[in-house]
């Protein structure tokens, strides 16, 4: 990227030490020239010229990145009792699954500023250990092993995991941009409708089937992963906190009576058929469930695309 003004040696020229020394001096004292040909391939660009972001010393394109886990030194688990899908709850066991960006040194306004065009990516995983109702095991009454329940696939009934955030200094956690309000309280039987339009999307949701192996309980014993990718538009927002929530059991189904929308349904458990003419649930099953969750992780990264 340097500009050197000197005359090259040509074949057949007679050289002496003065000519050679002049060329070495030209190289030693050369000045840099930044132009459109070398700015990215061998020079500097906005990532070097931009100010440092917050206290991390990171520069664009990574504005900020963070990660947390509820694992301490051993596998941790916790049972959330009397759940029936009508309300959501924060996954708080162990160290909790919570990114808190309000502390000193996190951001100039107690949070991370997201600008127009920034990419926000939230990613998580969580381990569902068991449900305290053996009726939902693979070969239990919920399985397609009788003619009366031939369409009752066990993986249509499961647990939802989804992140929510607190932004712009607000006091409560709210759904992510364009996502359905999966935190809404319901009175069963009732459903949350989702579709591929603003404020009813479920791009951030991981759905974990309650299907498992039978012992005294239904042991699902599986990890699910979820991620949310969003390019921000409009005015700046400040992300203060992000948490991972759980909700269930709920039923994934197609609601022809609701205009052909897809729904997550909270039935009245233990009453047999619900949302006619859809699936059966075991009439002998519990009216609520104890859900045991184990290790999980939650991370987020904000990237700026104009670097």
- In degrees, to the nearest 5, what angle opens at C-alpha 173 toward C-alphas 170 and 174? 100
Whole-angstrom distance, CA of residue 221 vs CA of residue 211: 9
Backbone angles phi, psi at 291, to 5 degrees: -110, 120
pLDDT at 143 over 50: no
**pLDDT digit string, tens, across residues 160-206:** 999 999 999 888 999 999 999 999 999 998 999 998 888 999 999 99
Q: Report, as an integer, the average pLDDT of 250-267.
A: 77
User: Would you state the pLDDT for residue 127?
Assistant: 95
User: Would you state the pLDDT for residue 66?
Assistant: 92
- What is the residue-averaged pLDDT of the chain? 79
Tell the residue number behind the tokens 């759980």, with chain if given.
246
Q: How confident is the model at residue 7 (pLDDT cuts 50, 70, 90)?
A: low
pTM for this predicted structure: 0.76
Which carries the bigger pLDDT value, residue 81 or residue 13? 81
Q: Which is nearest to 179 in space by CA: 120, 135, 259?
A: 120
């Amino acid at each position: 990227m340097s500009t050197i003004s000197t005359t090259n040696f040509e074949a057949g020229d007679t050289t002496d030490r003065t000519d050679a020394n002049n060329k070495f001096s030209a190289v030693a004292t050369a000045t840099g020239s930044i132009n459109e040909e070398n700015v990215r391939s061998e020079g500097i660009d906005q990532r070097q010229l931009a100010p440092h972001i917050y206290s991390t010393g990171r520069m664009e394109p990574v504005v900020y990145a963070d990660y947390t886990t509820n694992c301490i030194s051993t596998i941790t688990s916790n049972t959330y009792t009397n759940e029936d899908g009508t309300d959501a709850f924060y996954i708080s066991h162990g160290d909790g699954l919570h990114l808190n960006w309000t502390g000193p040194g996190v951001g100039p306004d107690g949070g991370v500023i997201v600008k127009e065009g920034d990419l926000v990516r939230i990613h998580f995983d969580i381990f569902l250990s068991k449900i305290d109702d053996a009726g939902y095991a693979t070969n239990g009454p919920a399985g397609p092993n009788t003619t009366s329940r031939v369409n009752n696939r066990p993986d249509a009934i499961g647990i939802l995991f989804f992140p929510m955030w607190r932004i712009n200094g607000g006091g409560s956690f709210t759904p992510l941009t364009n996502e359905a309000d999966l935190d809404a309280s319901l009175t069963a039987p009732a459903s949350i409708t989702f579709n591929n339009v603003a404020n009813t999307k479920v791009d951030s949701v991981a759905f974990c089937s309650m299907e498992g192996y039978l012992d005294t309980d239904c042991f699902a014993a599986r990890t699910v992963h979820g991620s949310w990718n969003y390019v921000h538009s409009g005015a700046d927002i400040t992300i203060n906190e992000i948490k991972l929530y759980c909700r269930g059991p709920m039923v994934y189904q197609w609601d022809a009576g609701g205009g052909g929308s897809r729904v997550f349904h909270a039935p009245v458990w233990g009453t047999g058929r619900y949302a006619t003419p859809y699936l059966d649930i075991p009439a002998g099953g519990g009216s609520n469930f104890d859900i045991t969750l184990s290790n999980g992780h939650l991370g987020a990264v904000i990237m700026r695309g104009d670097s």
